[in-house]
Structure 1
Amino acid sequence: MLSSSRASRPLAFGTTVPVAMVAVLLVALCLSVTTFATASLTDFRQRYQSIMASSGKGFDMFYRDMTAPPASYQWECQRDSRDAYSVAYASATHPYTMSISNSELTLTRASSTVGVSYNLIGISCSHRANCGGVVSGSSVSFELQADHIVIVAGEVVSNGVRNFLPVAYYVLQSGRHCSNVNSANVTSVFGVGAAAVWTGLWE
């Protein structure tokens, strides 16, 4: 009887430990995703504040004003060629040139003036604030994904003088959210729908 009892113990221990290890790994993965998302939004915020500060003393104090969403949420929208995705944007304050392919949204701020250059920074986040890293360049591109928000800003340099560019938001949705008259209502996105994004951007 003793030998039978002792033989069963390694089996029970062997089946319990892997389950515990899997649970620990899953918790660690969830924490790392949350940390990455927070770090990405923090990186975007700090980089834009740095651009504002380099434009002149005290300009970074207007960060909250510059990142405030537009007053109206009835936005213009465009669909990709397959009507699978749509991108909504505030056309009245739309500062960047936008192009949409079957898989990407690309934003640019072109200049034909000698001595003037633009550098954009941008980030794409899900409504739960799971974000990719901050991208930068004369143009920035993002994968088309439903229920995502793209945030873009940047700087302009003219003859050595730096200034900041405005923030623009692009709401990525399925194609059905863009009406036949190219209009989409994004009220819910700027309310509770993507509250985690705004918390990370404005904390």
Structure 2
Amino acid sequence: MPGTLICYGDSNTYGYDPRDTNEGRYPKEVRWTGILDTETDWKVENHGVNGRSIPHTVSTVKFACQQVRDWHRKPNSVWLLVMLGTNDLLENPDFTAADVAKRMERFLKRMMEEAGLASRKMRLRLIAPPAMQEGQWVGRPELLTESRNLGKEYKRIAKRLGIAFTDASGWEIPTIYDGVHFTEEGHRIFAENIRKELNI
């Protein structure tokens, strides 16, 4: 029975569009989350936040865990999709994909202690974000390499934690001039691919 898809991510989940000087956001019908909401029987909640990195401070982890407790109360099935890591690479020049993966594993382990995930009422899926492309924000070659390596690093985490995993790092999602944010076509392609992954 369809339920709720919680999409927890950064600006590519939020639907950031730098060309929009008002909201800075693509319309709902363009965003991959909005496409899933419209074209499937699932209720899709967009919990993307511009600039979000993997929660790793006391306050950000605490807030995320509180959100899990709230989401746990929703009726029917609740799937939590977590797609983060791009900003961790952008903001920390010395970080490798392995460093980002360690941060992600610590975060997921803490979240999985919450009742909703510990009881498996909520289903957790880790998504390795699409790799960055060359662009204004991506001037260092190592960014391209490490963003592609997130897939294999995250796959190891998912296996250790026994959770579902989707590797979007090789999907070749088209980006705008900055090399990071999806184009409108990119959102459509991402929605199609994730729908196949979830079989919805």
Decide: shared fold, TM above 0.5: no
Bin for the TM-score computed over the shorter chain:
under 0.3
Q: TM-score under structure 2 normalisation?
A: 0.28
TM-score calculated relative to the size of structure 1: 0.27
Task: Identify the structure with the greater strand proportion.
Answer: 1
